[in-house]
Amino acid sequence: MLNIVGVGICEGQITERASKLISQAEVVFGSKRALQLASKFISGEFHELNRFDERIYGEIESLAKQKKVVVLSTGDPMVAGLGTKLKGNVEPGISSVQMALARLGEDLCNAIVIDAHARNAEKELELIEKRNLLILADKKFDPSIFGTRRVALLENICGNEKILIGKANEIKISSDYSILFVWR
């Protein structure tokens, strides 16, 4: 049996249901950060994932036919996460999207979420004419494409957190763990 479990992005965000799935697992896989967030619930063997690809996903799914397996996902597995890569039961977690919206006092229903991590999201960015945008970004993303629109940059949520509000053409992203919120 395979469970993909969201562990949140900050210490203490693991739900009660998620903690039970983790503690009942015979084998747990996750990134270094995900394993750290869930460490007090892991009772079986665990393996750090250093890369994520189809071969690894296949090996995990094969093992899950014989054992209770949990794959940990930082944040929520269904927000640009592992829930779309593996076939199994998904237990949601608290995402960076939810944290950013809470910090800004913005409603998810008024925004479109776009994943621009290491990929070209140019086509989706045209949606700014219809809704606010919440962009999962990295250092390569250039906010200046939004000109003088008002934006908020949130970097390293739950870490060395920084929030800047200003004009898009005056803001530079300095972390690969960034969210850019663009007001319509």
Q: Residues 62-95: pLDDT tens digits?
A: 999 999 999 999 999 999 999 999 999 999 999 9
Who wins on pLDDT, 128 or 23?
23
Structure-block tokens of residue 113: 């979420």
Contacts of 46 (CB under 8 A, 6+ apart): 27, 28, 29, 30, 35
Mean model confidence pLDDT for the chain: 95
pLDDT over threshold 90, residue 118: no
pLDDT at 44: 95
Q: Which domains does the chain have, with CATH numbers?
A: 2-94 (3.40.1010.10), 97-182 (3.30.950.10)
Residues 6+ apart with CB under 8 A from 35: 28, 42, 46, 48, 72
pTM of the model: 0.91
Q: What is the pLDDT, as a whole number, of residue 119? A: 73
Residues 6+ apart with CB under 8 A from 103: 154, 157, 163
Rounded CA gap, 111 and 127, in Å?
10
User: In the predicted model, what is the mean pLDDT of residues 38-51?
Assistant: 97
DSSP tag of 87: -
Closest CA relative to residue 14, chosen from 71, 74, 65, 87:
74
Q: Round to whole Å and give the CA distance between 92 and 84.
A: 12
